[in-house]
Structure 1
């Protein structure tokens, strides 16, 4: 099973949020450097909100995965520790992806906020 397959069904909303965030980053960057365009504060803030949403979806995916692992463990009498921890490892993948998206959103938000402040000061 590949890493992307291990993300389960929660990967589709996470990828959708990533796509929306990237679109907002591109739109805010274009508007920011286009002469005469209005301030794009709300668009810049939406980038950080979408990153937070991706992190929340990642945590939700991990919680659902841990719940499913716990259900399987409770149905089986003996489970090896390595099998249990490999199941937990798979469940954490969505949180990792969600927080990576939040990290990208935070960096983009900071850069665009800085550029917007410099533009407004000029």
Structure 2
């Protein structure tokens, strides 16, 4: 959503509202595809995945397989973001998965198993 006009007004001392200048030149760091004007107040970005891929190490059914999911967003991920991959019945995580990369389970969801089996 584009940045709306923003005005400054005062209380106690009467002055007409003054429309403020917006930052229409700065390009935001850490935002893929950012352009001048994106730093304007109340400008709202839509979140998009700019790249996504799923790869597997073995094409044969019932064989051991490593599935790698890679995604890139136009906005940085934070600790409050959550991505759910579901439908992998019987899948297990091995010790090569760093549990530091797994966010906490959402409220009411079953706790995630420690990949190291601890």
Q: So what's the TM-score if we normalise by structure 1?
A: 0.24
Structure with greater strand percent = 2
Larger relative contact order (CA 8 Å, sep ≥ 6):
1
TM-score (norm 2): 0.24
Higher helix share: 1
Q: Which has the larger radius of gyration?
A: 2
